[in-house]
Structure 1
């Protein structure tokens, strides 16, 4: 089936989903969750075939981690759908309202976007998350995953479509776009009039390609070169715990820390502890001259960092590290190399924290907390569609509200202008 035909079917399904009651949508979401758990063996079998093919093709460990499913992850996908079912319905929410001096009643209300296209890489859990969020927000969705996860995505979408049909909603509200050819991505990017918005999730090259080539409006989800800055007034025990969590808990995701900045006043004691701890956790450090020297004094190998290292989103157990002379220098470093995703400061100084949060330009700025908290579920939004690093329409973790637009409803009593 062509992307154009899928778009037409999605458009028709969106008209039904847009007017579905919360009870109907929530019942469908719970049915989708139950079906994923019940039919987990067939999803896992499809995923195992994808993982085997990826491993045989030399896929990196980071990408294999993103691709792989297990019973725990499927239960997490189902839990995300149930969590979304329990959230308030954004459709029809009054954002603001007033009665104008002339007596007109004005209301701005949330409405579905319509048909949402999502282009993503190697993460089959996105398939269920995106379908659930789009459904709850009253949208139909066209899912274009990567060829490396095509079997997994097909199995998941088959389960979700069957559950939709069983609850009386159109199965075409969730469709999988064929992934064996890049031509389908191009068709999706040019389906203006059928697709209302396109959301890319993946690496820098994918996102840049979609943003630059699409005629469909795009919500840009950005790469994550996230920094941890250890300030002169930091609690070093806290800083070490935050660093290890942000870097090692799941290095293949966009909210993992990729860069560490340490104030010179605490560099000696902090690096004395951090470098061996990072080594023991399997992290390869790419450091500036001060960090290389500190590693040498403690027998911890440190690779000399390049400009590319400081700007890298590694998505692996690699970390760039630099010593800075001041808070101002740390903010300058982040402004130069950061990607506007998540930036964290560890400090006991209220003044330093306030300056950092005021001056750092990012979707999320954290004080004394791991960058791994930049996540829709952690923020209480339910499963997220992505983390937007742009400044129009949506910024940060995109939950239900970010999958709606608004319209104005104006009530008069025969008013003329």
Structure 2
């Protein structure tokens, strides 16, 4: 089915004025209605989601199943997340700064919505709800283009959201849905800078590169990562093993999951045998460099020799690349070369090493003695997020509600003319 991109974008643009003028109480009423209708449509959502899961499994995309999967627990989680958005302060209309100039002018810097957001994402149907509700709360309209993996789930979710908005008298056009499984269907939208204010791609390197190379609209990139944890020369074994196991195995399908473990040469023989026993419980495949392979050879069943590509791969699976380094300097150099500037961690008992790592690693989130799985808006106390931004302009790290606003200057005068 051919998508009329112009019609969708124009509808979003037309609705953006009313979206930006909604009161906080109107927004919250609409959000509560969405939570109610998601629950009301739960059976249909789960029925359609089962189709998406089956298609994903048949395609041999095992690691992606967890991303696509919805169940009653996850639907309840989605509804609770919506209610949490209700509890967040309205980010629109906040006076960010205010001053009185010698000219007598009163100048205010005030937060305002972006206007129209194009959100392009992969796999996860919960992102459809997150993006819609955060856009609504921040006074934006949003055009949603999900991945083909969750197309059936997304159709019902959008149906529920539209019904919810209609039930409380809110313009349904503030949420637009691109009902297509074709990647090419987004190309036309990326040229509409007169109608769309910002595009947010959330997904792997392929998606982000496609948007960056083809968009005339400003983009805020989220999602892609190659996450490292470095174990220093001095470290606490009791905390190191649980941190690494949690960072790798808690949930492998999300972007803050550990991909590459770097270990100081003086720590490797102590750490690796004990760590391997714990990773084996989770059936993790280890791809080891030459030195790590020698330590683990014949002691770990799922052991392979790493190749160069492994150290540039976001696995999103039970796979861990391991490299032994001679020093903190070598670890920092490796991270600088291979990082996508998402989340990076050090495990160390040396305060100087910790501070060097925090100050020298160029990433949105840098950790000391904890797991990278904490890179999350809710875990940072920011509430729900649209994604994790890996760039430096506008917003970096968890891309939460306030990140969906910009600002304008309001200037109050009483007849002043500039000399």
TM category, shorter: over 0.9
**Normalised TM-score (structure 1):** 0.97
**Normalised TM-score (structure 2):** 0.97
Q: Is the 8 A contact 2:284 2:302 kept in 1?
A: no
Matches within 5 A, 1:160-179: 160-179=161-180
**Aligned with residue 44 of structure 2, among 42, 45, 48:** 42
| Alignment correspondent of 2:24 | 22
User: Is structure 2 residue 86 aligned with structure 1 residue 85?
Assistant: yes
SS state at 1:320 partner: strand
Alpha-carbon distance in structure 2 between the residues aligned to 1:335 and 1:200: 23
How large is the RMSD of aligned CA atoms in angstroms? Answer: 1.3
User: Is structure 2 residue 98 aligned with structure 1 residue 106?
Assistant: no
Q: Is the 8 A contact 1:178 1:184 kept in 2?
A: no
User: 1:275 Cα shift?
Assistant: 1.6
Which ranges in structure 1 are unaligned for 5 or more consecutive residues? none
User: 1:55 Cα shift?
Assistant: 2.1
User: Is structure 2 residue 339 aligned with structure 1 residue 344?
Assistant: no
User: 1:391 Cα shift?
Assistant: 0.8
| Alignment correspondent of 1:414 | 415
| Alignment correspondent of 2:227 | 226
Matches within 5 A, 1:199-348: 199-296=200-297, 298-348=299-349
Alpha-carbon distance in structure 1 between the residues aligned to 2:280 and 2:325: 22
| Alignment correspondent of 1:150 | 151
User: 1:148 Cα shift?
Assistant: 2.3
Alpha-carbon displacement from aligned partner over 1:357-410 (angstroms, at most 9, x marks no partner): 000000100111111110112112222111111111111110011101111111
Which ranges in structure 2 are unaligned for 5 or more consecutive residues? none
Q: Is the 8 A contact 1:276 1:300 kept in 2?
A: no
Alpha-carbon distance in structure 2 between the residues aligned to 1:384 and 1:331: 29
SS state at 1:385 partner: strand
Alpha-carbon distance in structure 2 between the residues aligned to 1:219 and 1:125: 20
User: 1:134 Cα shift?
Assistant: 0.6
Q: Is the 8 A contact 1:224 1:339 kept in 2?
A: yes
Q: Is the 8 A contact 1:275 1:300 kept in 2?
A: no
Q: Is the 8 A contact 1:225 1:311 kept in 2?
A: yes
Q: Is the 8 A contact 1:93 1:110 kept in 2?
A: yes
Alpha-carbon distance in structure 2 between the residues aligned to 1:379 and 1:168: 34
Alpha-carbon distance in structure 2 between the residues aligned to 1:333 and 1:148: 34
User: Is structure 2 residue 118 aligned with structure 1 residue 117?
Assistant: yes
User: Is structure 2 residue 332 aligned with structure 1 residue 365?
Assistant: no
User: 1:300 Cα shift?
Assistant: 4.5
Matches within 5 A, 1:176-191: 176-191=177-192
User: 1:140 Cα shift?
Assistant: 0.6
User: Is structure 2 residue 96 aligned with structure 1 residue 131?
Assistant: no
Q: Is the 8 A contact 1:295 1:301 kept in 2?
A: no
User: 1:301 Cα shift?
Assistant: 4.5
User: 1:290 Cα shift?
Assistant: 1.2
Alpha-carbon displacement from aligned partner over 1:13-44 (angstroms, at most 9, x marks no partner): 21111011111101111111121122210100
User: 1:338 Cα shift?
Assistant: 0.8
| Alignment correspondent of 1:95 | 96
Pairs aligned (count):
416
| Alignment correspondent of 1:378 | 379
Alpha-carbon distance in structure 2 between the residues aligned to 1:297 and 1:77: 45
Runs of 4+ in structure 1 displaced over 6 angstroms?
none
Deviates more, 1:125-134 or 1:42-51: 42-51
User: 1:323 Cα shift?
Assistant: 1.1
Deviates more, 1:227-236 or 1:17-26: 227-236
Alpha-carbon distance in structure 1 between the residues aligned to 2:114 and 2:370: 34
Deviates more, 1:45-54 or 1:386-395: 45-54
Q: Is the 8 A contact 2:155 2:179 kept in 1?
A: no
Alpha-carbon distance in structure 1 between the residues aligned to 2:284 and 2:260: 12
Q: Is the 8 A contact 2:263 2:325 kept in 1?
A: yes
Alpha-carbon distance in structure 2 between the residues aligned to 1:143 and 1:59: 26
Q: Is the 8 A contact 2:247 2:257 kept in 1?
A: yes
